[in-house]
Each structure stands twice: as structure tokens, then as C-alpha cells.
Amino acid sequence: MSIRCVCQNGHVLTAKDSLAGAVGLCPACRARVQIPTPRRETVSEDAIIAILGDQQPADGGSSPGVTDSLGESWPFAETPVRGIDSKSQPEDAVKACQRCHQKVLAHTHICPHCHAYIANLDDF
């Protein structure tokens, strides 16, 4: 990728990522331009859950959902995951959440207790 910046005279410039933080000259007006360092934005787990919203089962029916320790209902926690073979993973298989260490169903991707994303690459 490249970094876009604007000189003091309004010329739009692009610079290589390797030049982040350096000072260069605008090729149009020769003004000094500080090439910004790109910001790494992180997205919180709560923001991811807010983006996902309420998930409905693929069959269009209603799911009873799961109520967590805070009394919030999570309808997608019981939704079956595509690609999981019932023979390879029993329905009662559990795993521990890495954040709160609560036991959850093995096919669960978001912990119903602390809302941490707990899926592994093996889950897909």
C-alpha cells in the first residue's frame, strides 16, 4: 500500500510505506512535507458484536438462544456452525474460553459469558 498526504499548498501526494515518518519535498511546489505514520486502528469485541447484530438461524426459524450471566440473550450462540460434522465433534463437546475460562460448547465462536471471540482456525 501507499500513504496519501497533502502538502501545505494542497497537492495530494502518495509515498511508499517505507517512507512513513520521513520528511520529503512536494514534487509540484518543493514544499517540505511530513509523511504521516499510518494509524493501526483496532476494533473492540463489543464493536464486532454490534456490527454482527442479532443473527437468525439459516432455516428462518427462531432460536431459543442462550442467556449469559448478565441476563443478555445471544440467539446466535446456539446456531449450528456450517461444516462441522456431527461425527467428528459430539454435540456435548466443550472447550474453555481463553479469557474467562468458562466451559462453553466446542462449536461456539463467541463466549456467551464474556463475549470474547474464541473460534480457532480448526473451527472453519
Partners of residue 2 on adjacent β-strands: 16
Mean local confidence (pLDDT), 18-43: 88
Averaging pLDDT over each range in 18-22, 49-53, 92-96, which range is the top one? 18-22
| pLDDT tier, 117 (very low <50, low <70, confident <90, very high otherwise) | confident
Q: pLDDT tens across 62-115, in order?
A: 445 555 656 666 555 444 555 444 445 566 788 888 888 888 888 788 888 888
Q: Could you tell me which residue, 58 or 113, shows the higher pLDDT? A: 113
Q: Could you tell me which residue, 79 or 19, shows the higher pLDDT? A: 19
pTM of model > 0.85: no
